[in-house]
Structure 1
């Protein structure tokens, strides 16, 4: 029996975008708009304002975190959850907060993994933002699908490549993880995942 998916298809909300801002202007606006319920991002002069999303978004975000942390613990990673810590670079003209992020070895300045649960359409390019922040791996969950991107550097530059297996969370079964993320019942999802490890 295939479990029902956790989230019904919902209309996606678009963020507000304001173009042509300098870093200094962004920081001034950020100080004025630092209020609960809103998340601000910035990339190349574009300010993105998103409302924090509701229960469906939070359920998926927390489910991914619970499953991933169970795996990291059992697999012996010395990890630190860094949540939605603010990541920014004035020289890269970027500010972003992941839904979840993790340092997978001690002593890192920035997370090794950023996770985004996408319930909005449009907005700034998330992968470009994380590329400038030098985040090694990004997971994007959207509409019941999990895409994994790993940062590459070669003669042509720096870019994210979509990969079929995580290179930062070695050994994790992404198909099993996704099946459990999308299950209706949280406890059943955790038990199913744990029994398969």
Structure 2
């Protein structure tokens, strides 16, 4: 049996509705402090207190495993971390936990990853759809959900998929098992050894 990382109890974000973009930007400057993340969608300001070590451990493990896969798979990628993604034109500001450009000369990331330790809040998929992010991964409660952006006659929408289209060939069962292992070094070694087979 593989020991898993313990997850803390989920907290709900603070939400403030009916703000203009200008009001949001003023509040954003006042709240620019470590330990908090703010997002904005359609006049709603979301303030989330970062849950600390468990969140950061999962985030960094996920990033280390993914970057190992991308490197060994020959992807020409650039990690862009939790870069701010915002557009006044579509009334969105969002910072993912991890993000990646998966080809050279990209303006925005192709992939964003959210490690979810809160409940409720703004519609993150709607925010990323407006920013036209190709693929979004959510890790929550030891599970991974993947959404890929589709363009159809009626516009853009995300489709939940079982295999990544942005990171082709990744074994998501192995990836998830390694993310959820208690020991970081053992998780990386297990993942690397399997990739080398």
TM-score (norm 1): 0.97
Within 1, Cα distance between the matches of 2:12 and 2:56? 18
Deviation at 1:157, TM superposition (A): 1.7
Task: Work out the CA distance in 1 between the residues paired with 2:32 and 2:54.
Answer: 24
Aligned twin of 2:32: 34
Within 5 A, what are the aligned runs for 1:33-182? Answer: 33-182=31-180
| Cross-structure match for 1:5 | 4
Q: Secondary structure at the match of 1:91?
A: helix
Q: Distance in 1 between matches of 2:163 and 2:153?
A: 24
**2: CA distance between counterparts of 1:184 and 1:55?**
13
**Equivalent position of 1:190 in the other structure:** 188
Unaligned ranges ≥5, structure 2 = none
Deviation (angstroms), 1:156: 2.2
Structure 1 alignment gaps of length 5 or more: none
Give the Cα–Cα distance (whole angstroms) in 2 for the partners of residues 11 and 191 of structure 1: 29
Larger CA deviation: 33-42 vs 102-111? 33-42
Which residue of structure 2 aligns with residue 24 of structure 1? 22
RMSD: 0.8
SS in 1 for 2:100: strand
| In structure 2, C-alpha distance between the alignment counterparts of 1:120 and 1:72, rounded to whole Å | 29
TM-score by length of 2: 0.97
1:63-119 residue CA offsets vs partner (Å, 9 max, x unmatched) = 000000000000001110000000001111000000000001010000000000000
How many angstroms apart in 2 are the aligned matches of 1:96 and 1:118? 14
